[in-house]
Structure 1
Amino acid sequence: MGASATASHAPAAAGALAGITVLDLSRVLAGPWATQLLADLGATVIKVERPGAGDDTRAWGPPWLADGEGQPTTDAAYFLCTNRNKQSVTVDFTRPEGQALVKQLAVRADVVVENFKVGGLAPYGLDYASLKALNPRLVYCSITGFGQDGPYALRAGYDFLIQGMGGLMSLTGRPDGEEGEGPQKVGVALTDILTGLYAANAIQAALLHRAATGEGQHIDVALLDVQVACLANQALNYLVSGAVPKRMGNAHPNIVPYQDFPTADGDMILAIGNDGQFARWCAVAGHPDWAHDPRFATNPARVRHRAELIPLMRQITVTRTTDAWIAALEAEAVPCGPINTLDRVFADPQVQHRGLKLDLPHAAGGRAPGVGNPLHLSATPVAYRQAPPVLGEHTDAVLTSLGYSPQDIAGLRAGGIV
């Protein structure tokens, strides 16, 4: 893919999920992240939104998308990040007529994704049991903060809250005793995003099961479960040793040196993962003897003697600029890199080459920027069919496909149903 992907880059090959229809009743981030991934892979995603308001994130600005005249629209950048390749249909399903509409869509759908509180859709007849009775093959994915059962099931869950409860913030931030100490959340809503990725994986697994058996099923995905599962090596460090991991700033609990270092004009990252890389760093730094020092020769030794090694390294790294270090270390295959701001990220030649900056025509006029999908499938590549939709952009077309006449649609609109 070229430097900046556009809608014209959509491949001729059908996506891997072509022919799959997803009814998206979710909003904000975790659910929409899952359904955008499915849409990028070729599924038809029909996003149901509230008439007149839509997904909450449409209003989470500034910044706002500009129209063709350069004027701000009513769609925030936040909404754009997670609703590409979808159709927007406005339906008020708190009304019986709206419920009937959504049920018609569910009968035709392969997948439903929702992130309401536990039991929140039952009063409208849009819960799994109700829709399964209409469509037994339906794969129904519920995303909540704490799951469909357990003592916290009825609580609302938010990414920030879960980062704290699920242990991530206890591992993130400067250690006690350093300036700026204290727990920190990650700079993006990472738990929501990871939950969306887990949900999309579960949905595709359930579709494979349905292809083999004809059976749909209910998927229960919880933010807390995902956050705990993604503690990865830190969780196992605790479960194996019984020692509670502590905040270490940018340092790694199991690998040394694997952190940020000051340079003559800023900072850089060293990600040294084995003893050979460390020996090559020592040679570039003018201290080949360190590679043979029993305190530093092996990674377990370096972990034990971290407090001695890191200050010695910092005295050396401040003697050259970031670019000078990176040039010298890359020549010796020592993993390293800068700490980029986002302007530098999107100016990076590798990021540009991989097509991670999008530019799609938008229904409001003008262009909608976006970030490309990181999946590269050789036979069924990701396609960017359309920018995130304006509110209700596809309502008439979708209702027409259900058999509604223009007069029927006008009546529903006049009654505030759509």
Structure 2
Amino acid sequence: MADITQGDPAPLSGIKVLDLSHMLAGPYATMTLADLGAEVIKVEPLAGDMIRRAGPDITDEDTYGGYFASVNRNKKCISLDLRSDMGREVLLRLVAQCDVLVENFRVGVMDRLGLSYESLREINPRLVYGCIRGFGDPRTGEGELTDWPAYDVVAQAMGGVMQVTGEAAGPPMKSGPGLGDIFPAALLTSGVLAGVVRAQRTGQGSFVDVSMYDAMVSLCERIVYQYSVDGSVAHRVGNAHPFFEPFGLYPAMDGWFALAAPTDEIWRLLVTLIGRDDLGSDSRLSSGSGRSAHRDEVRTAIEAWSRTRTLQEIRARLGGRVPFGPVQDARQIVEDGHLARRDMLWTVAHPPTGAPLTLAGQPIHFHGVARSQVRPAPALGEHTDEVLAELDFSDEEVARWRREGILR
């Protein structure tokens, strides 16, 4: 990486985040904040975040699977019982020191613990409280589904993703990645940072709420305006695009590749590169609407060329000239030198074993600012003593709470 000033602080250096989240959505949001330099303290129950036990397992201890390791890097961890008076006291002291709190419990959980946004705001008026719910928090708009539980697949189903994903003649299909978790997480990160800016400007904190259902509707914005404009309900079109052609996946001799030529200029270049100038001079195909109207003919012509060539041959012809990319699996991604040079493959030493563990890196890059060394996801309760000492709890108190089984 060029032009890096090693002494420059990370963008979120000095921001302190209290992470009460679990599973994927909340931890992904706080991981992003941690990657960008925030100090993130993850608070887990005594049994740990349930995804610690999600595979693939790295050790036989069943408390540090790959799922957890991927989205909890760069965080500290304390483990305590928030239902206990001690647990709440620790949390309240942390709230007083933190800029941000993130949680993704069901509606009402924090309130029942005596840790509602309203009570925490009394302790720290500058606190930015971020939450992800399946169907939103009543504070920002109560609907008939507010109390419903949700997971990624539910949000994808209801928000439109599955209705427009899959083959035309096939059933609705969820996306491979957990869009119903990760996209809300990305939105919450933006909202929380907007709240931090507001707090710095006004001295006032914020309650920031992202609904998984809302987020999926936002992600599927195209199907909403289509319905508004002409009353059409979008359906599945496989790997094609409802408006553009060519735009989708095509077969090679040894795999598949993505190709997009939606503009007239790129279309003319494409047909020249594949030796079909006759298509470029065909008036029926000279416009995007014309190519869409004759999409079967366009696809047949491209496939006739691509099926007789390897991906390497196609890359040599099209790569860097028209939008093209092979369909890659995990092995190919990890071995891609471009990603390595982009610092998108992070390696950490797995704490229990010391074995190297490769993770997908942080795609938000800042010119001139080097990222700090990535730290592996913490062991359960790894930083409990350190954090409690900073909160001025005595060694005797900590030892007693451990004996009482309310602290790990």
Letter in 2 for 1:117: R
Letter in 2 for 1:64: D
How far apart are residue 202 of structure 1 and its match? 0.5
Counterpart for residue 50 of structure 2:
56
Letter in 2 for 1:56: M
Distance 1:183 1:381 in 2: 43
SS in 2 for 1:236: helix
Question: Given that residues 375 and 382 in structure 1 are in contact (C-alpha distance below 8 angstroms), is that contact kept between their aligned partners in structure 2?
Answer: no
Q: Could you say if the C-alpha distance between residues 206 and 73 of structure 1 is closer, same or farther in structure 2, counting changes exceeding 3 Å?
A: same
Once superposed, which parts of structure 1, at least 4 consecutive aligned residues long, lie more than 6 Å away?
none
Question: Given that residues 346 and 374 in structure 2 are in contact (C-alpha distance below 8 angstroms), is that contact kept between their aligned partners in structure 1?
Answer: no
Distance 2:368 2:38 in 1: 16
Question: Superposition pairs for residues 229-244 of structure 1, below 5 Å?
Answer: 229-244=218-233
Counterpart for residue 319 of structure 1:
308
Q: In the TM superposition, what whole-angstrom CA distance separates every residue of 1:243-294 from its partner, at most 9, and x where no partner exists?
A: 1111011111121101111122222211113112111211122210111212
Query: RCO higher in 1 or 2 (8 Å CA, sep ≥ 6)?
Result: 1
Please list every run of 5 or more consecutive structure 1 residues that lacks an aligned counterpart in the other structure: 3-8
Counterpart for residue 195 of structure 2:
206
Please list every run of 5 or more consecutive structure 2 residues that lacks an aligned counterpart in the other structure: none
Select 1:350's aligned residue among 338, 355, 358.
338
Distance 2:70 2:266 in 1: 38
Q: Could you say if the C-alpha distance between residues 368 and 315 of structure 1 is closer, same or farther in structure 2, counting changes exceeding 3 Å?
A: closer
Counterpart for residue 6 of structure 1:
none
Q: Could you say if the C-alpha distance between residues 33 and 330 of structure 1 is closer, same or farther in structure 2, counting changes exceeding 3 Å?
A: same
Letter in 2 for 1:55: D
Select 2:113's aligned residue among 115, 120, 124.
124
Distance 2:58 2:262 in 1: 42
Distance 1:413 1:19 in 2: 31
TM norm structure 1: 0.92
Question: Given that residues 117 and 156 in structure 1 are in contact (C-alpha distance below 8 angstroms), is that contact kept between their aligned partners in structure 2?
Answer: yes
Q: Is 1:157–2:150 an aligned residue pair?
A: yes
Counterpart for residue 15 of structure 1:
10
Report the identity percentage.
36
Letter in 2 for 1:151: E
Distance 1:230 1:35 in 2: 21
Question: Given that residues 10 and 384 in structure 1 are in contact (C-alpha distance below 8 angstroms), is that contact kept between their aligned partners in structure 2?
Answer: no
Letter in 2 for 1:40: D
Distance 2:291 2:371 in 1: 43
Task: Tell me which moved more, 18-27 or 236-245.
Answer: 236-245
Q: Is 1:77–2:66 an aligned residue pair?
A: yes
SS in 2 for 1:74: coil
Q: Is 1:100–2:89 an aligned residue pair?
A: yes
How far apart are residue 379 of structure 1 and its match? 4.1
Distance 1:306 1:255 in 2: 9
Counterpart for residue 278 of structure 2:
289
Distance 1:233 1:269 in 2: 21
TM norm structure 2: 0.94
SS in 1 for 2:18: strand
Select 1:341's aligned residue among 292, 305, 329.
329
Task: Tell me which moved more, 367-376 or 25-34.
Answer: 367-376
SS in 2 for 1:75: coil
Q: How many residues align?
A: 401
SS in 1 for 2:64: strand
Give the RMSD, CA atoms, in angstroms: 1.8
